[in-house]
Structure 1
Amino acid sequence: MQSIQFQKVIDLSHIISPTIPLWPNDPPMTFDVVASKEKDGYYLRRFSIGEHSATHMNAPNSFHPNAIGIDAYEPASLVRPAVVIDIRHLTQDNPDYVIGIQDIEKWEQTHGHIDQGSVVLFYTGWQALWNDPKRFINEDEKGPHFPGVGAAATTFLLEERRIAGVGIDTHGADPGQDTVYATNSQILAKNGIVLECLTNLDQLPAKGTTLVIGVLRLKEGSGSPVSVMAFVP
């Protein structure tokens, strides 16, 4: 029998509303009232949202043809230990910062090696910009500008630390200027976990947290908005 020891539970998911930041050219998030208490005796809305909008998890088929969709993840694979690497001091003045192996090794000098099967969460400080969509996406004629995990760091984490995946508080695990999506591609090739647009990472310790990731089991979905609960010891 496995158990999760915790003192508190932190929700790492943003509230979903029509004003959330959206990836360029993604569909808008909408609510439509289809039943009202006055007319129908109950209240009901229909909602529409892109599979990679709000706090979300990407699926392998979003980058690899014939790979699994979001509905194929086993429930046990969505309960994972997590570590948090705080890189705010590196991103504050450099929105295009690429997280490298050196950032991981520096964290490990203090906290020890990252355990196999962990999800590595990167706290860039971008969560504070969520209510300002223009600054959150930070797009110009060259595309979005926000920090993300470099290809070399991802290779190191997968091959040397055998991680289960990564998460970040920006709109992409890959840096905004990365057009090949190397981090997503590498992790999802192994049916791993990629979480984007997380929040409340400032409330987590560097290590010891357990994540429980709730996906919408969209048939053959390329991803899903998610509820990510962090159980903090």
Structure 2
Amino acid sequence: MSLLAQLSAAIGTGGIEVVDLTAPLSSRTPILQLPEPFGNTIPFRLEEISRYDERGPRWYWNDIHTGEHTGTHLDVPVHWVSGKDGHDVSQVPLRTLIAPAVVLDASDRVAENPDFLLGIDDVRAWEASNGPLPEGGWLLYRTGWDVHSGDQAEFLNADDAGSHTPGVSPDCARWLAEETPITGLGVETVGTDAGQAPGLEPMFPCHELLLGAGKHGLTQLQNLASLPPTGTLLVVCPLPIVGGSGSPARVLALVER
């Protein structure tokens, strides 16, 4: 039996489980809110073209209105000024879109402190227990934040001091960008950076450093609690938008059971 036939058979029998890591995309999907004078993306919206009526008696279809960075989505280098000479979303290497992934769980610390920042020592401690980060693969950072994804206010968790959501320290972002073999970082929050990232140095360090290094981000993931620390194969399916800085994406995990 060929390798692909074995894979297909294993999925069919449940030997390999397909876990959907994608948040449902609707007008209720939480979106990032930047302060003035910065521009903001629009909420997702369907605009009906026809629905079995005089506009089209036997078909239903819609136009979609959305931003590139709405819901579960992929960030690519050109999204940030530090990566402006890098590739757009139509040019992402295919080996990035189907690649191994590991899960680092910091949900216990985030439960105590929503502003928790992952540090280099946290990742090294994970490696000591689980092995090295995957070459050309993804680090998926579980914080438990997906439980808030049904409500915009809870998901952004903002007050007069800004948003309070977990992220990565500047030193760790630089280390992940420059010294590790991963292709990108996946998170459960609205963006790869912490809610308080505007006050860090550099500002928005995951965007600045990872995208500047030609790496990638995945945001608003769900169901990371269903994945083991190692052994996942990630499948990322963005739209190949020519010139696009990112795209909503369906993200699937293949896990051997």
Asked if these proteins are the same fold (TM beyond 0.5), I'd say: yes
Aligned counterpart, 1:48: 65
Aligned counterpart, 1:99: 118
Say if 2:89 and 2:243, in contact at 8 Å, map to a contact too: yes
Deviates more, 1:184-193 or 1:18-27: 184-193
Deviates more, 1:65-74 or 1:20-29: 65-74
Of the candidates 144, 157, 161, which is equivalent to residue 176 of structure 2?
A: 157
Partner secondary structure for residue 54 of structure 1:
coil
Aligned counterpart, 1:73: 92
Residue 251 of structure 2 is aligned to residue 228 of structure 1: yes
Partner secondary structure for residue 231 of structure 2:
strand
Aligned counterpart, 1:198: 221
Quote the Cα distance in structure 2 between the aligned partners of 1:18 and 1:189.
Answer: 31
Say if 2:22 and 2:251, in contact at 8 Å, map to a contact too: yes
Deviation for aligned residue 1:181: 1.3
Say if 1:52 and 1:58, in contact at 8 Å, map to a contact too: yes
Quote the Cα distance in structure 2 between the aligned partners of 1:114 and 1:85.
Answer: 10
Deviation for aligned residue 1:211: 0.5
Taking structure 2 as the reference length, the TM-score comes to 0.85
Say if 1:11 and 1:230, in contact at 8 Å, map to a contact too: yes
Of the candidates 43, 46, 53, which is equivalent to residue 31 of structure 1?
A: 46
The one-letter amino acid of 2:152's match is P
| RMSD of equivalent CA atoms | 1.7
Deviations 1:100-128 (CA, angstroms, capped at 9, x unpaired)? 01211221222122232220001100001
Aligned counterpart, 2:232: 209
Residue 196 of structure 2 is aligned to residue 177 of structure 1: yes
Quote the Cα distance in structure 2 between the aligned partners of 1:72 and 1:27.
Answer: 25
Quote the Cα distance in structure 1 between the aligned partners of 2:175 and 2:85.
Answer: 26
Quote the Cα distance in structure 2 between the aligned partners of 1:174 and 1:222.
Answer: 17
Partner secondary structure for residue 197 of structure 2:
coil
Quote the Cα distance in structure 1 between the aligned partners of 2:208 and 2:124.
Answer: 23
Aligned counterpart, 2:161: 142
Quote the Cα distance in structure 2 between the aligned partners of 1:43 and 1:98.
Answer: 46
Quote the Cα distance in structure 2 between the aligned partners of 1:150 and 1:93.
Answer: 17
Aligned counterpart, 2:78: 61
Deviation for aligned residue 1:157: 2.6
Larger Rg: 2
Deviation for aligned residue 1:66: 3.6
Deviation for aligned residue 1:2: 7.5
Cα separation, partners in 2 of 1:96 and 1:2, compared to 1, 3 Å: farther
Aligned counterpart, 2:36: none
Structure 1 gap ranges (5+): none
Taking structure 1 as the reference length, the TM-score comes to 0.94
Say if 1:119 and 1:193, in contact at 8 Å, map to a contact too: no
Aligned residues: 233
